[in-house]
Amino acid sequence: MHENQASRLKIERRRKRSQRLLIFAALLVVGGTSLLLPPVRTRISHRLDLLQTRITYLLNPPDEAVFVPEGQDEIETIVAETMQALTITPIGTPTATPAPEDTSQPTIPPTITPTPLPASIDLRNQVTYVHQHERWNYCGPANLTMALNFWGWTGNRDDVAKAIKPGESDPEKNFIDRGKSDKNVMPYEMVDFVNDKTRFAMLSRYGGEIEVIKRLLSHNYPVLIEKGYYERDYTGKIAWMGHYLFVTGYDEAKGVFIVQDAYLEPGENLQVPYPEFVDGWRGFNYLFMVVYPPEDLQTILDLLGEWADNDWANRHALDIANAEISTEEGIDEFFAWFNKGTSHVQLYEYVDAAFAYDYAFLLYAGLGQSEEGETAETRRPYRIMWYQTGPYWAYYYSGRYQDVINLANTTLYEFIEDPTLEESLYWRALAYLAIGETGNAVEDLKQTIYLNPSFTPGRTKLEELGVTP
């Protein structure tokens, strides 16, 4: 079986190489031989890369791919039985397996202060807007720069990016081009950067609500959230993508948050109605993050209230997901089940998480593609595994190593134009190790370090294996 898997991967790589030959041939036809002149190519390289991506996705549409976990044939029966018990109660119990990417700060019992909130807050005069343009995938660095600059940090978006998305270990590429392959900066990377590389502190929580965001804002603590949205991307399609937002105010009378959007033009001081804000937020299990001076920790914990307890926040996120499973449909029902899995992972309930992800992927397969007449909200959010790694945690710590490998293969070869997601490569490596394929594992781990020299898990695992990174 594993030999067949290796053969399939070789076939996939050959197919990718053949597609790239077609792409480059098309580029030459479209652009002519003048594109080969270095001065011309330098000026238009960004557009060439976008054209290459469009052609790649045209040849291999990512929304056609579907991941099917092993044993999913029985999942609908299990779900039907479980739904009868809804309120959905946890199926399993926490296990003593390693913790997920927990980037939260120490938990201190909250002090509840039921002070009435102001009718509006607007911190725009204290915010220096930073956009993400002229860079590859700079949403994370741009937003984190705004959050840090708010507190007096003097660095810029490139300073952040050099630490959290340094890009490929290729000296032939300039800094900007090296970062192209890093499709996303994970929340834990941002939290670790602030806590380890600056004099400030940062914490994150799942299961956020509008009121806790307003409470932080009312005491002059702006908030970062991760959200999904629908936009015409560089493939030319309206599709779901992940995005960070810097939330800097609210207006209760208008029912809006005031946000800084690093992507949109103009993106400063946009007003987002509460329902629209929540709809986008759902795609990331209501994750929120806040930067603060470390001496303000107790103030932050007081403002968080019950969210100061990270375990409570994860349980609350699970409650929200369970409630939305009963009320949402289409892509939002998919997100609810995916969030259920994510919350179980955060609580170390990996078998329950795997079950939730199984059903989420079944719902995903039932969503549409990009046919004419479909609304964006019914289409498959194929980028979901660019941004979130919970399914890998769940399947790996449930002993479902082949599902880890199969999901990584689908993500690396179907959901993305190039296999450049270091997180997917890392989890595939762990699964390879678990089934005894050490050579394949080492190859994947080395690739994680090539793609992101700051990727500590890959480097650490190689050292444990006695391999020089």
145 and 278 housed in the same domain: yes
386 and 253 housed in the same domain: no
- 108 part of a folded domain: no
Considering the chain, what percentage of its residues have pLDDT values greater than 90? 66
> What pLDDT was estimated at residue 170?
87
411 and 302 housed in the same domain: no
Give me Rg for the CA atoms of the chain.
22
Mean pLDDT of 417-444: 96
Task: For residue 211, give the nearest of 348, 305, 283 by alpha carbon.
Answer: 305
Cα–Cα distance list, 126 to 146, 268, 353 (Å): 10, 13, 41
Range with the poorest average pLDDT among 2-6, 215-219, 311-315, 393-397 = 2-6
- 3 part of a folded domain: yes
Interatomic CA distance for residues 23 and 267, integer angstroms: 34
- 229 part of a folded domain: yes
163 and 275 housed in the same domain: yes
Q: Predicted confidence band at 418 (pLDDT cuts at 50, 70, 90)? A: confident
Do residues 310 and 329 lie in contact, with contact meaning Cβ atoms separated by under 8 Å? no
> What pLDDT was estimated at residue 416?
83
Interatomic CA distance for residues 165 and 184, integer angstroms: 8
439 and 320 housed in the same domain: no
> What pLDDT was estimated at residue 32?
45
**Calculated CA dihedral for residues 62, 262, 139, 320, nearest 10 degrees:** -80
Give the three-state DSSP class for 205.
strand
The residue written with tokens 């103009």 in the block is 266
195 and 334 housed in the same domain: no
209 and 285 housed in the same domain: yes
56 and 199 housed in the same domain: no
> What pLDDT was estimated at residue 173?
87
223 and 254 housed in the same domain: yes
| Half-sphere CA count of 447, side-chain side, radius 13 A | 21
Interatomic CA distance for residues 304 and 311, integer angstroms: 13
| 16 vs 403, higher pLDDT | 403
As given in the structure block, the two tokens for residue 36 are 């080969």
Domain limit, last residue, from 308, 341, 368: 308
Task: For residue 376, give the nearest of 296, 286, 279, 249 by alpha carbon.
Answer: 279
One-letter amino acid for residue 27 of the chain: L
Helices (H) and strands (E) in the chain, counts: 19, 7
Mean pLDDT of 417-421: 86
On the question of pLDDT at 117 being above 50, the answer is: yes
- 114 part of a folded domain: no
Range with the poorest average pLDDT among 106-120, 379-393, 432-446 = 106-120
- 113 part of a folded domain: no
Residues 42-92 have pLDDT tens digits of: 444 444 444 444 555 555 678 888 999 986 666 666 666 656 555 444 333
Interatomic CA distance for residues 127 and 209, integer angstroms: 23
Q: Based on the structure, what is the number of domains in the chain?
A: 4
- 45 part of a folded domain: yes
Interatomic CA distance for residues 465 and 454, integer angstroms: 19
Q: Predicted confidence band at 235 (pLDDT cuts at 50, 70, 90)? A: low
> What pLDDT was estimated at residue 448?
97
Does the pTM exceed 0.85? no
> What pLDDT was estimated at residue 460?
97
On the question of pLDDT at 97 being above 60, the answer is: no
166 and 252 housed in the same domain: yes
Host domain of residue 348: 65-98+312-419
Do residues 248 and 124 lie in contact, with contact meaning Cβ atoms separated by under 8 Å? yes
The residues, ordered by sequence, that sit 6+ positions from 469 with a Cβ below 8 Å of its Cβ are 446, 449, 458, 459, 462, 463
- 385 part of a folded domain: yes
One-letter amino acid for residue 445 of the chain: L
Interatomic CA distance for residues 169 and 249, integer angstroms: 40
> What pLDDT was estimated at residue 72?
64
Q: Is the peptide bond before 266 cis (omega within 30 degrees of 0)?
A: yes
- Assign residue 231 the CATH number of its domain: 3.90.70.10
What is the distance between the terminal CA atoms of the chain, rounded to a whole angstrom? 29
240 and 160 housed in the same domain: yes
On the question of pLDDT at 94 being above 50, the answer is: no
Domain limit, last residue, from 283, 308, 333: 308
As given in the structure block, the two tokens for residue 438 are 């050490």
443 and 457 housed in the same domain: yes
> What pLDDT was estimated at residue 172?
83
> What pLDDT was estimated at residue 50?
47
Considering the chain, what is the average pLDDT of its residues? Answer: 84
Cα–Cα distance list, 451 to 62, 113, 164, 182, 186 (Å): 22, 46, 12, 7, 15
Domain limit, last residue, from 293, 308, 323: 308
- 51 part of a folded domain: yes
